[in-house]
Amino acid sequence: MARGNNVLAFLRLLPLLVVTLAQLGLPSESYAQEPSDASVSAGRRLYHQKADCQACHGWSGDGVKMDSQSPDGANLRTSQLTREQLILVIKCGLPGRDMPAFDRLSYTDDRCLGRTRSDLQRMGLELPDPAATLQNREVERLVDFLLTKVVRQGEMTQAKCIDFWGEEVDICNSLP
């Protein structure tokens, strides 16, 4: 019976331990498992289709946009953002900087940067509408794709292009 009480005591303390570790600033992504091929593939589809990230960030995430009327997006291939930072930016956008918020509830309360839509208006910050809103699991898959194939991956080469698309496509032939 004492062993059972110890397990219950540990389970009660587990949330406190998790919060304490988070407060110590230990990087949570070092404990994350590698994303599955299916998750990366789903993230690629979200990047190119539903979220239409390529309109501003380019098909390969290098900031060479696909649509001349879209705002200039950051070069994600040279980004140093962590998983948590990418999730925050995708969900909450960057008010005043042309990056839309893909969380449909962003700025309806203070979940994003401690601000609401009225706070943004009062500060004179605009937030463009996204191509579509994304569910939490879609944001996770998009970030799986970005961290696996785009972020910190350097300049696109023919070999990286084939890996990026999962097959040889015409656009890869023009790369070194």
* The domain made up of 36-174 is a member of CATH 1.10.760.10: yes
pLDDT at 1 over 70: no
* Strand partners for 115: 112
**Exposed e or buried b per residue across 31-52, where buried means at least 16 C-beta atoms within 10 angstroms of its C-beta:** eeeebeeebbebbbebbbebbb
> pTM for the complete prediction?
0.77
- The residues spanned by each domain of the chain are 36-174
C-alpha–C-alpha distance, residues 72 and 156, integer Å: 19
What are the pLDDT digits (tens) for 65-81? Answer: 766 767 788 999 999 99
What are the pLDDT digits (tens) for 163-174? Answer: 888 788 888 888
